[in-house]
Amino acid sequence: MKFATLAVHAGQRPDPHTGAVTVPVSFVSTFQMDAVGKLRGEFEYARSGNPSRHALEISLAALEGAKYALAFASGQAASTACLHLLEPGDEIVTLPNIYGGTFRLFHNVMNKYNITVKTAAEAEPESVKAVLSEKTAMVWTESPSNPLLTLFDIGMTAEYLKNFRNKKGTKPLLVTDNTFPSPAFQNPLSLGADIVTHSCTKYIGGHSDVIGGALAVSDEGVYQKLKFYQNAGGAVQSPMDCYLLQRGLRTLPLRMKKHEENAYAAAEFLRGHKNIEEVFFPGFADFPNHFLVKKQMSGLPGMVSFKIKGDIEAVKTFFSRLELIIMAESLGGVESLTCHPASTSHAALPPEERKKIGITDNLVRLSLGIEDADDLIADLKNALG
């Protein structure tokens, strides 16, 4: 089945008992046993497994082209589970431009467990290759990145890692955060990644009404370790949240096309405006590594970032003049949202680190929803004065 069909049907077949065409929400914490050590069905205790979560995980695995998927209470919970594959003394290699919450998790949490982080000089496979060491157990990537939409060659990095072995004799796991493109526009496992992570709060949910995260993987051994941690750590998705995410999946292909359409329209308008210093949008032919849009993606998310000419006061004026686009920290919803990365999504980074990677005080991130493009551009035109 093709993607749009999978989005509607994978994991979402009619209920065999009632014929309900929507997967019922299983508000249950425990399941009856027939005898000592004998389950009546496949579920025992809802932290370990729940019909609602099971259906969502089937859906997510199908859309990512994975054998398995695991749903978590948030994107950060999913990332935390992934990092628990590491052992004290291990090293993570990452890119210079990653989500602020991931940076905080790496540098403020995992360092307490003797996990070190090494950042490549540039978001290029060669730069990653240059910093690999005998301690490297994981390479963490993000493409397009948050918030500068940097494109990274996942496939080439996977090729580099194929023949690399650390002191344990194992290949470092290649992890890709696929939140921005969603499985509708990019499937990192098909490019050679080992694990895909998502903040399902964003495009997968799509309606700004649920928090969730997920991991997708095909390796049986890696899956079993992650499954163990999902149960032991306990940060699982609630049944109602699973229902909301699965409902969002059904319209994901349609929504992503409209998000992309609006992003192109907004980016073109912003690029030609006299009060804009710079626009970051992978759809431009002169955007760094633009070739990767065709090489590893089938479309672009509704994300555009830009720098306003002026200082923080000019940015504040811009936000205060918006009437349709909402100033809020998240992204990927049907409504258009905008935020100031330096004080929200990347506030966890030290000021000098933000400056080094280009997250300046005049940078604005824009998440284009599915409204009419003319209305969105009119709002931006008015706000920019």
Active site residues: 47, 99, 177, 202
For 138, which DSSP code?
A: E
Q: Name the helix (H) or strand (E) containing 228.
A: helix 220-233
Q: Which residues contact 124 (CB under 8 A, 6 or more apart)?
A: 152, 153
DSSP bridge pairs for 136? 91
Q: Name the helix (H) or strand (E) containing 227.
A: helix 220-233
255 closest CA partner among 335, 145, 171, 375: 335
Q: What is the pairing mode between strands 136-142 and 173-177?
A: parallel
Strand runs labelled E in 261-371: 276-280, 303-308, 326-327, 337-339, 363-367
Token reading at 81: 């589970």
With residues binned 3-state (H G I as helix, E B as strand, rest as coil), the percentages for the chain, rounded to 5, are 40, 15, 45
Q: Which residues contact 150 (CB under 8 A, 6 or more apart)?
A: 95, 97, 123, 143, 144, 288, 289
Residue 181 sits at φ, ψ, to 5 deg, of: -75, -25
Q: Which residues contact 188 (CB under 8 A, 6 or more apart)?
A: 154, 176, 178, 196
Token reading at 375: 């209305």
